[in-house]
Structure 1
Amino acid sequence: MSLALVNILPSDTTIPFIKARFVAFIVSAAMIIGSIGAFATMGLNFGIDFTGGVTLEVRTEEEIDADKIDEMRGLLNGLGLGAIELQGLSEIDPESDCFGNRCALIRVQPQEGEGLEAEEAQQEANLAVQGALTDQYPGIEFRSINVLGPKVSGELVQAGVTSIIVALVLMLIYIWFRFEWQYSVGAVLALVHDVIITIGMFAITQLEFNLSTIAAILTIVGYSMNDTVVVYDRIREKLRKFKKEPLEVVLNRAINKTLSRTILTSVTTLVALISLWALGGAALQGFAFAMIFGVIIGTYSSIFIAAPLLLITKVKRDTVEG
């Protein structure tokens, strides 16, 4: 099966990727500027992991349609707990508990207070919401309950940002030792490109940004780096073999030689991720969507950003043994 798929893709393509580098740089610059602008003006829709507050996932025997959502919202707004968000959850799997629009996600804003007082206020809000829903809807099921105070959520924000920065620095060091500094600069700039645009996508779509998203971004960094290393390995191999050809020709030859592998890897990964997004339920949809977007943008950056940057950093042929 795998050999048949490989044979579908030509092994001797001569697509002029490097000639398209200026267009790619302009497109990437536009996406980066747009992402930064969206982040600055719209911000991110932080989940409870980063904001604190109370999140409850509930299930009822009756369908939770738009009228039922409005009814629940009116009930909970009467508790005086501040902003409350409700979102219906639906599953396409008939075996799922949420099949038939019988589940809903409830978010309650962080309660005022500091330190222990804030923690107690969150717990009181949680109990108040559960009590009101139980009285109004006998038999309601609380499938999950998360209560986070502002101190814990603040620490999670710091840990999340730190993990991304540390990952990028370690990747820089790894590529520096694996290849030369010219390669490491290209690889890390491509990774920063992927991270910024992925965060921009979350700012524009206002999808919930939580710890699962951080995990997705770190996974994207690893995936993109793996793709870039494959391309760089082939570039180094071609530099040894074609020492007198122009650098642009050698880079283009190397990209085309890895194109089949790149496409097959990306497509098979996307098939799994799309299945996860469609069937994994609401809890996994944000993670899966981030991964789908990241695989696409990571594949693009490996070909159109990481490799062409070697022309700018002027990778030296005399560093290539052969």
Structure 2
Amino acid sequence: MDLTDHWASSIWFWLVLLLVLMTGSLLVGSVTTNISQLWQPDAPQFAVVWELRFPRVINAVVVGACLSVAGLLIQNLVKNPLADPYLLGVSGGAATVQLLVIMMGLSLSQSWLFLSGFLGSLLATVLLLKLSYLGELRPNKLTLNGVVLAFGFAAVISFVLSTAQGQQIKSMMFWLMGDLSFARPSLLMVVLGFLACVWLYRHARSLDVLARGDLFAAKSGVAVKKMNLWVFVLTALLTSMAVAQAGTIGFVGLIIPHLVRMLVGHRHRDLIPMCLLVGGCFLLLADTLARTVLSPVQLPVGVFTAIIGVPVFLWLNRKV
């Protein structure tokens, strides 16, 4: 491993990079801010930075971290490197509920909007679990049922879009492509995400063994049924929160686990914290581009995760 690879695989490198990206994201936008003005309450840009940009920065980091870890888990669960968090179909539950809220013009607070989408995802998760759990969680059945549920929710979403009017359609399409414009960081999301990652880190060894196959894991003493169920529940939980908070943002959960495995190997004790940092960096970079490239016009963040994600994934696929 050369010096560049060593730094790229260092958790400190990504932590510093995240802090640099956060600072840069606070400074740029439709109004450029000097770094010295970040600490001057009487500066004209002070309110813009801390009341508008800072919550969005935190939101991007948290959502990116959740989607990255969810992608790592779902790829472990179904033993498919092309799997991403939306494979479960639970994102459709959040999307359906929140689009219905937009269409009906309900004036819900940000917290209630988040909770409504979260509830929709949890209901979809329960349905998927009911369909796929027959004494044990079968990854092949889970994958097929998740894909079918995703198509079902997509049909409902298409119906909602076809019956919406005027400005509602633009708002819905913007949200479906990923939108961090108005959401505020959710304390519930931060707490649940932190607890989920702590649990996963404590069971990193079992996840390592499980990644080598259910039969091998069972022979190694891992409670395969229990671990698969927990991995499914935590994947659905992290995905539900991310979608409820920011809409459907693609490629984060697909490419980040691949990139991190190239950097640090296959041990989940290394993969989990690195996915948190690299995922946060990736989505923060994409969101910063989304609101600055055509400033003052803001674009959906999903556009830039795809623009960055497609060539990165093709490059990663060649390296494997």
Give the structure-2-normalised TM-score. Answer: 0.27
Higher helix share: 2
Structure with a larger share of its residues in strand: 1
Q: What TM-score do you get using the length of structure 1 for normalisation?
A: 0.27
